[in-house]
Amino acid sequence: MAIADTALPVLRSVAESSRTFAPMARAPHGVRGRRLVDAHGRTIRDLRISITDRCNFRCVYCMDPSARFASADTLLSVADFARVARIACSLGVRKIRLTGGEPTMHPRLTEIIGSIARGCDAEIAMITNGSLATRDRLSSWRDAGLERLTISIDSLREDRFAAITRSQWRVRDVIAAIEGAIAERLTPVKVNAVLVRGINDDEAADLAGLARAYAIEVRFIEYMPLDSGHEWDSSRWVSAAETRRAIEQRHELRSVAEDDPSSTARVFEFADGAPGRVGFIAPVSAPFCGACSRLRLTADGMVRPCLFSQDEWDLRALLRSGVSDVELAEFLTDAAWNKQAKHGIDSPGFHQPQRSMSAIGG
């Protein structure tokens, strides 16, 4: 029988004990259980899997110091992550990114990477704050199947870094992770930075200098309404255009043509021929929803079609009810079909998602 006839009522009865889930429209018969597409004609090729909501940072734009994490028994298992990834790959996913929270805090990270790699013909990448990415661990992750690393850093000044992350870690720890990732060939290494007005917006050119120093891509992500305290302040938002102007006061940039229309970043190279590139991810000022190819799975097993979705669907209950791979594939294709046309940050009716970035997965 199809999932709509048997498994979904079980799913809803389990889920509704603690939460209410929005109805999920079925994908057309020719699509359901076969490939991941949405009702707006976009093909889903990227799956972002959050393996934990825990993080050793409390970044000011993301997580309050008092934020509480999900209990371990609500999180998916290593086998669950591997199974969902394998099915997603059978439906056309070609890129899997492991996120958190901070994924390097997961005690079985190497096993997760290996189990996904064995079941998927897809690029496996990970985003991390770099604090725990020692050379030995980087090597073990690469050997397990990790291919690429993205590292976040929002300031090159130790005092600011401590204030932004509200942690004991240091800038030099993250720089060591960047150097280690390059040495272990987890390339192309990318570095993400979020600028917040009045906190670190005067460091755009300095952070862009990392691209020149290490021949990597440094990407600036606009400050988004995804904090756990729901205190996002638009007056502290710095547009990608403003960041670019600040960088070009020191380094002239020229645009680079991107082959992938679903890429989140608009990329530039240095006009003087220096190595490295600079990218701008502008979900607030220049949304790229029209070519979005992403689906998300949270650490507690919820499928979200968009970072800013108000709706999500409970895959965990389905996994724990013993359904078949065919039924899981039908569920994933239905979830993808329900992906909204755009996130709507720029619309008057926009409401920030209830979950924070750390709970959704970056």
Over residues 270-299, mean pLDDT: 86
Sign of the CA dihedral running 67, 342, 100, 295: positive
Check whether 121 has a pLDDT greater than 50.
yes
309 touches 336 (CB < 8 A): no
**Residue 151: inside a domain, yes or no?**
yes
State how beta strands 294-297 and 46-50 pair. Answer: parallel
**Residue 183: inside a domain, yes or no?**
yes
Check whether 138 has a pLDDT greater than 80.
yes
State the pLDDT at residue 354.
65
Confidence of residue 229 (pLDDT cuts 50, 70, 90): low
State the pLDDT at residue 119.
96
State the pLDDT at residue 10.
33
Rounded to whole angstroms, the Cα distance separating 250 from 252 reads: 7
State the pLDDT at residue 351.
60
Over residues 96-118, mean pLDDT: 97
Confidence of residue 282 (pLDDT cuts 50, 70, 90): confident
The 10s digit of each residue's pLDDT in 178-201 is 999 999 999 999 999 999 999 999
Check whether 12 has a pLDDT greater than 50.
no
Report DSSP letters for 188-232, one per residue.
S-EEEEEEBTTTTGGGHHHHHHHHHHHT-EEEEEE--S--TT---
How high is the mean pLDDT of the chain?
Answer: 87
Check whether 362 has a pLDDT greater than 70.
no
Check whether 11 has a pLDDT greater than 60.
no
Over residues 115-139, mean pLDDT: 97
Residue recorded with tokens 């720890």: 173
State the pLDDT at residue 65.
82
Nearest to 11 by CA among 138, 2, 1, 21: 21
Tokens of 72: 């371990």
The 10s digit of each residue's pLDDT in 313-352 is 999 999 999 999 999 999 999 999 998 876 556 656 556 5
State the pLDDT at residue 307.
75
State the pLDDT at residue 261.
62
Check whether 18 has a pLDDT greater than 90.
no
**Residue 330: inside a domain, yes or no?**
yes
The fraction of the chain above a pLDDT of 70, given in percent, is 83
Higher pLDDT pick, 250 / 310: 250
> How many residues can be counted in the chain?
362
Check whether 116 has a pLDDT greater than 50.
yes
**Residue 2: inside a domain, yes or no?**
no
Count how many domains the chain has: 1
Q: What is the CATH number of the domain that holds 330?
A: 3.20.20.70
Over residues 31-50, mean pLDDT: 94
State the pLDDT at residue 61.
85
The fraction of the chain above a pLDDT of 90, given in percent, is 69
Over residues 286-290, mean pLDDT: 62
Confidence of residue 232 (pLDDT cuts 50, 70, 90): low
Give Cα separations from 163 to 157, 172, 194, 199 (angstroms).
Answer: 10, 15, 14, 9
Check whether 1 has a pLDDT greater than 60.
no
**Residue 48: inside a domain, yes or no?**
yes
193 touches 221 (CB < 8 A): yes
Rounded to whole angstroms, the Cα distance separating 42 from 133 reads: 35
Cis peptide before 261 (omega within 30 of 0): no
Check whether 39 has a pLDDT greater than 60.
yes
User: How crowded is residue 120: how many other Cβ atoms within 10 Å of its Cβ?
Assistant: 22
**Residue 1: inside a domain, yes or no?**
no
**Residue 250: inside a domain, yes or no?**
yes
Over residues 246-273, mean pLDDT: 87
**Residue 341: inside a domain, yes or no?**
yes
State the pLDDT at residue 3.
37
Higher pLDDT pick, 24 / 274: 274
State the pLDDT at residue 67.
78
* Domain around 291: 7-360
